[in-house]
Amino acid sequence: MTNQIKSVVIFRLGELFSGPGGLALGAFKNKIVSCSSDYLIQHLWAVDYDSDACETYRRNLCPDCPQSVICEDVRKLQIEALKPIDGFAFGFPCNDFSVVGERLGFKGEFGPLYQYGVKILRYFKPQWFLAENVSGLRSAGSGDEFKKILKDLDESGYHLTAHLFKFEEYGVPQSRHRIIIVGIEKKLRLEFKVPAPTHLAKPVTARKALKCPPIALNTPNHEFTRQSDKVVRRLKFILPGQNAWTAAIPKDLCLHVERARLSHIYKRLDPEKPSYTVTGSGGGGTHIYHWEEARSLTNRERARLQTFSDDFVFYGSKESVRRQIGMAVPPKAARIIFESILKTFAGIDYDSVKANLLPLK
C-alpha cells in the first residue's frame, strides 16, 4: 500500500487599502486540509498610502520581503507592475459611506476608490476576492451606490455573496457591523456561503478581552493617556454602559454641544458586554473609556478589542496607531471568513446562514 502524495493549493494574495494587516493576518493563519490537497493563502503584495500602516504590515507579516508592501496612493499605482495573484482583498475606504461622516458617497474624495479594486479584478482575474466596508454602504445614495458597486463587481466576472456581518457574533469582543462581499469567478461554478455565527449565545465580553490575561505594563502600544482633571471628574459620574448624554452629570461638567450628540462620546464600556465600535478617528471623548478606571483605553487595549495579539506591534505615533487599529478588520473575524473561502474551494461543507443583503436584480 502506497501513501497518496497530496498537492498544496496556494492562493497568492494581493491587497489594496491593506492598512496594518488585519485582513491579511486572518488570511495567513488558515490551512484547510482535504483528502487530496492542502489549501492556504500566502502574501504576495499589499498597497496602502499610509506609511505607518505599511511599516506595521511589513514588520509583522512579511519582514523577509518588505519591498512587497507598497506605500502608494492607488490613484498613482501602476497596476501593470504588480505580480499576478490568485486571491484579492480590499477594504476600500469607508469615510464617505459611514453614518458618522458627511455621507458624500461617490461625490466624496474616497467614495469612488472602490473602482481601483474593480480594475485589479479585471486586469488580474483572481479566482476570488473579499471586499469590506461599513454597514452604511447599503443606504448611501438611497442604496443606488451599493447597487452600482455590486453591479461593477458582478460584471467583472464574479458570483457574489454579500452579507452584513455582526462581528460580535463571531467571537470579536466588539459590536462591529461590516459589509463583506465575497466573489468567486463565475466559470468555477462555486458559491461562497456565509459561515454561521459562533458566539450567538455567549459573546466575548470587554472584561474577558482586556483582563484574560492581564496586559503587562511593558507591552508595546500600551501607553496611557493623561486625562485632564475635568475629564476624570466627568467620568466619575458616568456608569458602565453610559455616555455623556445619558449620565447624571453636574451642570459644570456637561458638554455644551448642540448638534453632535454621538452615543459614544465619553461612553464607558459595559464589562459584561462586547465593546462598542472601535473607531480610527475623532478627538477627545471618542477613545473608548474603561468601565472602572477614569481613563480612556490604551492602544493595546483597543487592539485587544480588535483581536490583535499582544505581540503584534503597531508602528507610528500614538495617534497614528490609534487610527490604524480603528480602521483595521478584526483578524479573528477575517480568519473565519477566509477559512470558509478555502473550504469552498476544497469542497468541504460547513455550517452556514443565508446572505441577507440586496440582490443584484
Q: 18: which 3 cell numbers?
A: 491593506
Q: 316: which 3 cell numbers?
A: 507610528
Kind of pairing, strands 352-353 and 87-90? unpaired
Averaged over 66-83, what is the pLDDT?
A: 96
Is 316 a residue whose pLDDT tops 90? yes
What pLDDT does 104 receive? 46
What pLDDT does 176 receive? 96
Averaged over 340-348, what is the pLDDT?
A: 97
| Weakest mean pLDDT among 174-183, 226-235, 246-255, 265-274 | 246-255
Banded model confidence at residue 145, pLDDT cuts 50, 70, 90: confident
Cβ 86 vs Cβ 127: under 8 Å: yes
114 φψ region: left (φ > 0), alpha (ψ -120 to 50), beta (else): alpha
| Weakest mean pLDDT among 97-111, 283-297, 337-351 | 97-111
C-alpha 106 chain-centroid distance: 21
- Count Cα atoms within 13 angstroms, Cβ side, for 116: 23
Give the C-alpha separation, 56 to 314, whole Å: 5
- Give backbone dihedrals phi and psi of 191, rounded to 5 degrees, phi first: -130, 120
Alpha-carbon torsion angle 95, 98, 100, 105, nearest 10? 70
Q: What is the pLDDT of residues 261-315, one digit of tens each?
A: 567 789 999 999 999 999 987 667 788 999 999 999 999 999 999 999 999 999 9
What pLDDT does 255 receive? 81
Could you state, in order of their start, the residue ranges of all structural domains in the chain?
Answer: 7-201+330-353
Among 74, 80, 184, 208, residue whose Cα is nearest residue 126 = 184
| Weakest mean pLDDT among 6-15, 99-108, 239-248 | 99-108
Which CATH code for domain 7-201+330-353?
3.40.50.150
Cβ 253 vs Cβ 244: under 8 Å: no
Is 213 a residue whose pLDDT tops 60? yes
Among all chains, which residue has been given the C-alpha cell 447597487? 147
- Single out the catalytic residue among 35, 62, 65, 94: 94
> Is 167 or 106 the better-scoring residue by pLDDT?
167
What pLDDT does 138 receive? 84
Quick check: is 94 catalytic? yes
